[in-house]
Structure 1
Amino acid sequence: MLWTTWLMANVCMWMSEVAAAWMMTSLTTKPLWVALVQTAATLPVFLLGLPSGALADNLDRKRYFLFTQLWVASVATLLSVVIFLDVMSPALLLVLVFANGIGMALRWPVFSAIVPELVPRTQLPAALALNGVSMNASRIIGPLVAGALIASAGSAWVFVLNAALSVGAAIIISRWKREHTPNPLGRERLGSAMRVGLQYVKQSYLLKGVLLRISIFFFHSTALMALLALVARGMQDGGAGTFTVLLASMGAGAIASTAFLPRLRRRYARDSLVLRGAAVQALAMAVMAVTHQLWIAVPAMFLGGAAWITVANTLSVSIQMGLPDWVRARGMSIYQMSIMGGSAAGAAIWGQVATWTSVPVCLGIAAVSGITAMAAVNRWMPDAGLEDDLTPKRIFPAPSIPEPPKHGHVMVQIEYLIDPARAAEFRFLMLNESRRSRLRHGALSWELLHDINEPGRFVEVIVDESWTDHLRRFDRVTAADVTLRDRKLAFHTGSERPRVSRSLMETTV
């Protein structure tokens, strides 16, 4: 049911993007305006992705998902009314496309967080590939339906159908039998939840590498998508049908490639597979820059679609495997922000480059710079190839006090007694691993103190935003954190376990 909902939602998205892009070419022929349709559609995800992810990690995901579909239906209805009244302008179209993008910004993080609830971790790569099939089947279905409606009835009816399908998806979501279990500690404050999400990504080498690669890929590959309507118009006998066929070819290539993804993942390391995908996508873009023949453009778009899903699926699996459940929606929202931020910036910049030069020259520059940038980041920030065990482990008892403080930061101090001969080794472990772990769990700050008079005494200092946020960290412990705890304890030479003290920082009350 949810996969069908995702398919319907994506069909609506592609119908809307195709109709809006084609409508803009009828309102103006300036490349910048046409490219800005892509920017208006994707920029909301960049601006609102993190707040949406924080809400999806705290609210009832079923109701939140339902709201996003009703939002999209309302915007599609408004678009159709404006077109029927014949008052559409380039600026108004961009505003309404932006409003539709808000619904997409709210929808993506919650759906990304739902998928791991439904399948075991071992089947997550296959489930994500199936989502790729949904996305790319919609890339075929949406443009075909939109193209047929535009040619036969007009763009307004595309948005009417979009609204109807969105309402249908909302009805399916309402039948989802999911029980929301509120957190006993209550909801995180939005600002705090956003900070923790950003902090988690910032302290993860794996996640930062994924985000950099996906941003680079979409920044360059979006040049083709943003200018495809103009490419189609410039081809021999080009028109709305040509535009639809090119989009459908790209979707078909993406769907066909999913059958080979498991074999490719076994054969190539992540960085190698991503670089090969970026190279094929760059080649497809270069071909589109020089050809005016549809019979050449169709296989080029097919290969481009295959490369697109290969890169996107490989990096999506990588980031999903690097996120624990408690921060998954926020992590995926940052991933989607990277995609849409790269796409929005790329569409605007490549549109301006095309205005200064020409569409073929712009695509050629994007192809060369795209593969060059991906090769550089693979060399500069290679995949470490290590995955932490993020299985939840509730083995550390949360502290209980008679009157928990309602305000003020909480300072936690953990005292270790270390053999001075091993101090450098212990310091390296604490600075490089314990610090990142504490900050990923939401600590405001972390410090390691070394007693000047007693060389073997170290004190780990962690500051939490509040007593409630301190308790939340006990719910976020994973198997990897337990292993790290054991490695730290192996250095401790005291007869008793490290002494832990907790203090309320009065200066923050």
Structure 2
Amino acid sequence: MSIPTSPPAPAATDSPWAPLAARLFRALWIAQLVSNTGSWMQTVGAQWLLVGDGAALVTLVQTASSLPVVLLALPSGVLADRFDRRSVLLAAQFAMLAVSAVLAVLAFTDALSPTALLVLTFLLGCGTALMGPAWQAIQPELVERRQLGQAAALGAVNMNLARAVGPALGGAVVAAAGAGWVFAFNAVSYLGIAAVLAVWRRPSADAAPAAVNEGMLAALHAGRRYVWNASGVRRVLLRTLLFIPGGAALWALLPLTASSSLGLGSGGYGLLLAAVGVGAVAGAFALPRVRRTLGANGTLAAGAVVFAGVLAVLAQVRTPWLVAVALLPAGLAWIAVLSTLNAAVQTRLPGWVRARGLAVYLLVFQGGQALAAPLWGVVAAWVGLSACLLIAGAVMLLSAASVRRWPLYDAAEINPSPSDHWPTPPLVFEPGQADGPVLVTVVYRVPADDRAEFTDRMHRVAASRRRTGALDWGLYQDGNDPERFVETYLVVSWAEHRAQHHVRLTATDRRREERARELLAPGTVPEVTHAFDTASGPVVPDRAGPHAPSHDT
């Protein structure tokens, strides 16, 4: 039996549940719900085992889970872009199953020390880091592009449904039978995702590696170069970075709030986490209307304000049921912000670099939590828990205020669909894939009245060149012929330049080129030449004779 990839086109694509009509997405979503429930049960068990060892040690559980993403997200993104993402995901599932089984055995035999617990939690985080970019990158294979927003929201609903069930169940199991059983359930929970992936057969076009056989370091540099020169992706990362530190305070300090401020046990702590999950699930029904009313940027600002208010309640209120009620809107705010950011980054990344771009997003997201969590623990030990929560609330208000200054860019202006609009350049010899650097020169003729506008539009083209492989870029005006403009850019190898031609360019890149060329002198076309570094590439005789410049861009 195999599960097909292509989802049916549902009639009501605006429905928040539309992606569940796709069989593979639905199967993975259910399996992920079971796995996420196991993860939340384990988190409760791990944190509760360390409550008596102080605030700093409790917050290190979150750090141990998140820090591997800081260390491994980018290499994991390269693996997910270079190899079959299904295989990467399967390897991650079985690795995490093995680590969870070791945790369970140590817990059952009373041999689980705080150090061993943190080390094994760190190893589980390594599995999550390996899985994250590949999991995010397959989403456009599971649903249509127009449904990516709903798919991201359903992913957040999944996590919060697990948060509604897992912590309460985990707390009850820890109280009744001990932490070993929550670790054992978590180990078994990975089998569901593995089973669905095992019967999924990706079409060969999706499963094939990238057209350029890049080395690990070259692929890392290509991903970094793309993100650095993609203003839409950079703005999503900035908004994530501004939200996560304040948001991390809730997850890092909630165990201490439950035990110290509210006098609750593991079961009560689980119920508080469940309240966040219930709020998120209930909020999923209201989320489409919220987005239509507020827009993406309004949703980000409103979510941060709500989160700040919840942190203030946690700082001042000592009645458990009131705190639980206050945590309901925290779940709604969390799902609103995270699904907005996730959908934003998904819709701004082309396929050839999707996993690497998502790895950077996960690096900022998880890394922000990993760094902020112990910091909040130190601040709480220094100024007190209540004051620390109020400081975190103030940080969230600053995040809300910054949306006006640094909003997300309009997604309608960004189309990452591939565009193979450059023909292969006709050369008198066939360069080797490693030959280079390659200097590409493009000559334009621009009327006097349009030179300033042309220069402005070409600087938008420059970002495209750099995103897709250019190490350097320049635009020059001929001193003897003011209508003649010369664009130059340097690409590290012939293989990289061929990738620009056939893999990396997008519809957005094409539109920007066309807008610049609208201003060329009537009847003229760009003249393109390719020059190779004679120090590293072969010097060949002119076997074919002179030829006309190629018009490949």
The answer to whether TM tops 0.5 is yes
2:61 equivalent among 37, 42, 47? 37
1:318 equivalent among 338, 344, 354? 344
Name the structure 1 match of 2:200. Answer: 176
Name the structure 2 match of 1:460. Answer: 487
How many Å separate the matches in 1 of 2:234 and 2:210? 32
How many Å separate the matches in 1 of 2:36 and 2:49? 20
- 8 Å CA contact retained: 2:304, 2:399: no
How many Å separate the matches in 2 of 1:185 and 1:372? 44
Name the structure 2 match of 1:489. Answer: 517
Q: Which residue identity is paired with 2:414? A: D
Q: CA deviation at 1:281?
A: 0.8
Within 5 A, what are the aligned runs for 1:115-126?
A: 115-126=139-150
* Residue 151 (1) aligns with residue 179 (2): no
How many Å separate the matches in 2 of 1:192 and 1:232? 48
Name the structure 1 match of 2:543. Answer: none
How many Å separate the matches in 1 of 2:188 and 2:425? 52
- 8 Å CA contact retained: 1:442, 1:464: yes
How many Å separate the matches in 2 of 1:230 and 1:16? 17
- 8 Å CA contact retained: 2:212, 2:499: no
1:274 equivalent among 300, 322, 336? 300
- 8 Å CA contact retained: 1:290, 1:360: yes
| Compared CA separation, residues 180 and 142, structure 1 to 2 (3 A) | farther
Q: CA deviation at 1:56?
A: 0.9
Name the structure 1 match of 2:355. Answer: 329
Count of aligned residue pairs for this structure pair: 505
- 8 Å CA contact retained: 1:270, 1:314: yes
How many Å separate the matches in 2 of 1:9 and 1:180? 28
Name the structure 1 match of 2:464. Answer: 437
How many Å separate the matches in 2 of 1:194 and 1:9? 30
How many Å separate the matches in 2 of 1:508 and 1:420? 40
Within 5 A, what are the aligned runs for 1:399-438?
A: 399=425, 402-405=429-432, 406-431=434-459, 433-438=460-465
Name which of structure 1's ranges 244-253 and 213-222 shifts more when overlaid on structure 2: 213-222
Name which of structure 1's ranges 97-106 and 151-160 shifts more when overlaid on structure 2: 151-160
Q: Which residue identity is paired with 1:342? A: G
- 8 Å CA contact retained: 1:51, 1:194: yes
Name which of structure 1's ranges 493-502 and 298-307 shifts more when overlaid on structure 2: 493-502
Q: Which residue identity is paired with 2:531? A: S
How many Å separate the matches in 2 of 1:250 and 1:446? 49
Aligned with 1:379: secondary structure? coil
| Compared CA separation, residues 282 and 98, structure 1 to 2 (3 A) | same
2:497 equivalent among 462, 466, 470? 470
Name the structure 1 match of 2:135. Answer: 111
Name the structure 1 match of 2:16. Answer: none
Q: CA deviation at 1:317?
A: 1.7
How many Å separate the matches in 2 of 1:212 and 1:484? 24
* Residue 285 (1) aligns with residue 311 (2): yes
Q: CA deviation at 1:54?
A: 1.7
Aligned with 2:470: secondary structure? coil
- 8 Å CA contact retained: 1:147, 1:240: yes
Q: CA deviation at 1:275?
A: 0.8
Name the structure 1 match of 2:75. Answer: 51
| Compared CA separation, residues 105 and 91, structure 1 to 2 (3 A) | same
TM-score (norm 2): 0.87
Q: Which residue identity is paired with 2:254? A: L
- 8 Å CA contact retained: 1:235, 1:293: no
- 8 Å CA contact retained: 1:210, 1:318: yes
- 8 Å CA contact retained: 2:245, 2:368: yes
Q: Which residue identity is paired with 2:467? A: R
Identity %: 38
Q: CA deviation at 1:404?
A: 2.2
How many Å separate the matches in 2 of 1:303 and 1:490? 50
Aligned with 2:164: secondary structure? helix
Name the structure 2 match of 1:166. Answer: 190
Q: CA deviation at 1:88?
A: 2.7
How many Å separate the matches in 2 of 1:387 and 1:320? 14
Q: Which residue identity is paired with 1:487? A: R
* Residue 140 (1) aligns with residue 189 (2): no
- Residue deviations 1:448-485 (CA, integer Å, cap 9, x gap): 22222222221111211211111111222222222222
- 8 Å CA contact retained: 1:443, 1:462: yes
Name the structure 2 match of 1:380. Answer: 405
Within 5 A, what are the aligned runs for 1:73-92?
A: 73-92=97-116
Within 5 A, what are the aligned runs for 1:158-307?
A: 158-181=182-205, 182-183=208-209, 185-307=211-333
Q: CA deviation at 1:282?
A: 0.9
Q: CA deviation at 1:494?
A: 6.8
* Residue 395 (1) aligns with residue 421 (2): yes
Name the structure 1 match of 2:548. Answer: none
Q: CA deviation at 1:400?
A: 5.7
- 8 Å CA contact retained: 1:234, 1:292: no
Aligned with 2:413: secondary structure? coil
Q: Which residue identity is paired with 2:313? A: V
Q: CA deviation at 1:236?
A: 4.2
Q: CA deviation at 1:61?
A: 0.9
Q: CA deviation at 1:147?
A: 1.6
- Residue deviations 1:366-394 (CA, integer Å, cap 9, x gap): 0012212331x223323343522222222
Name which of structure 1's ranges 353-362 and 471-480 shifts more when overlaid on structure 2: 471-480
- 8 Å CA contact retained: 2:474, 2:488: yes
How many Å separate the matches in 2 of 1:434 and 1:139? 45
- 8 Å CA contact retained: 1:60, 1:180: no
- 8 Å CA contact retained: 2:437, 2:492: yes
What RMSD in Å do the two structures reach over aligned CA positions? 1.8
Q: Which residue identity is paired with 1:381? A: W
Q: CA deviation at 1:237?
A: 4.4
* Residue 499 (1) aligns with residue 527 (2): yes
| Compared CA separation, residues 166 and 481, structure 1 to 2 (3 A) | same
TM-score (norm 1): 0.95
Q: CA deviation at 1:186?
A: 4.6
Q: CA deviation at 1:357?
A: 1.5
| Compared CA separation, residues 319 and 185, structure 1 to 2 (3 A) | closer
Q: CA deviation at 1:169?
A: 2.3
| Compared CA separation, residues 266 and 94, structure 1 to 2 (3 A) | same
How many Å separate the matches in 1 of 2:528 and 2:243? 46
- 8 Å CA contact retained: 1:322, 1:387: no
- 8 Å CA contact retained: 1:12, 1:142: yes
